[in-house]
Amino acid sequence: MEIQWNLLYGFPGEDPQEYAKLSELFPSLYHLEPPNGNGRVRSDRFSPYFTRPEAYAIENLRPNAAFQYVFPFPVESLARLAYYYEYDYADGRDVQAYVAPVLAKIAEWIALKGTVTLRYFDRDDGLLILNDTRPCATVFQRRLAGLERAIYLFCDTGRSLAKIVEHVAELDPQAPMDEAKLQQTLDCWVADRVMVYLDDRYLSLALRAG
C-alpha cells in the first residue's frame, strides 16, 4: 500500500500556533512517508473563496500571475477567463513567515526518506525491541518487557489515559495499579519521541518489523 498526502496551509482565519505544533511533531514522523506536496490554499473560480471572499476575510482577488505569461490579454480579460486566483488576507497575516519552519521540516523529512526507521520486533520470549535511527532518537535500541511491552502494543491505536489504566487493570486484576509510574512511563516515551500525545490520546509510533 502506498500512502500519498499533502499539506495545505494558509486557510483564512487559521491559528498560526498550530504550525508551531506541526513543526515540533514532524521530526517524530521522519520514519513515515513524507508529504508529496505542499502549498497555500487557492481561491478557484466557483469556490466559496471566489464567490464570497468577504465572508472569509480575503480581498484583492486577481488572476494567478502565471496567466499573464500564457495569454496576451489585459488584466480585465484574464480576470474573466482565469480559474486560479491569488488573494490577500484582510488581517494582513504573513502566512509564509509562520509556515516557514514547517516547510523546512518537510524538506528535511523528504531528504531523509528511506534512510531512517523506527521499528519494533516482538519476540517470542516476550521481549519487544525498538530500533530507532531517526535524527531525534535518544537511543538506538530500547527493550520493553512485561507491562511496558503490553502498554506500548496497546497504544498501536490511539488510547486515552483512562483506557490505558483500564487495560492495565485487566491484565492483572490482583496487582495494585501505580498510576503515577504509568504516567511517568508514558511521559518518558513521549519525550523520547517513540510515542505521541495528541487529542488526549497516546499513540505508539514504531512500525512492526516484517
Q: Quick one: pLDDT band at residue 141, thresholds 50, 70, 90?
A: very high
Burial class from Cβ neighbours inside 10 Å (0-12, 13-18, 19+) for residue 111 reads: exposed
Strand 58-63 vs strand 43-44: parallel, antiparallel, or unpaired?
Answer: unpaired
The more confident residue out of 210 and 115 is 115
pLDDT of residue 173: 79
* AA letter at 183: Q
The grid coordinates of residue 26 equal 514532524
* Per-residue model confidence as pLDDT tens digits over 150-179: 999 999 999 999 999 999 999 887 776 788
pLDDT of residue 174: 77
pLDDT of residue 134: 98
* AA letter at 172: D
* Per-residue model confidence as pLDDT tens digits over 41-68: 999 999 999 999 999 999 999 999 999 9
Determine the Cα–Cα distance for residues 187 and 207; give it in Å rounded to an integer. Answer: 20
* Per-residue model confidence as pLDDT tens digits over 64-121: 999 999 999 998 999 999 999 999 999 999 999 999 999 999 999 999 999 999 999 9
Domain ranges of the chain: 7-112, 118-208
Determine the Cα–Cα distance for residues 85 and 62; give it in Å rounded to an integer. Answer: 5
pTM over 0.95: no
Is the distance from CB of 201 to CB of 158 less than 8 angstroms?
Answer: yes
- Domain 118-208, CATH 1.10.3470 — does that match? no
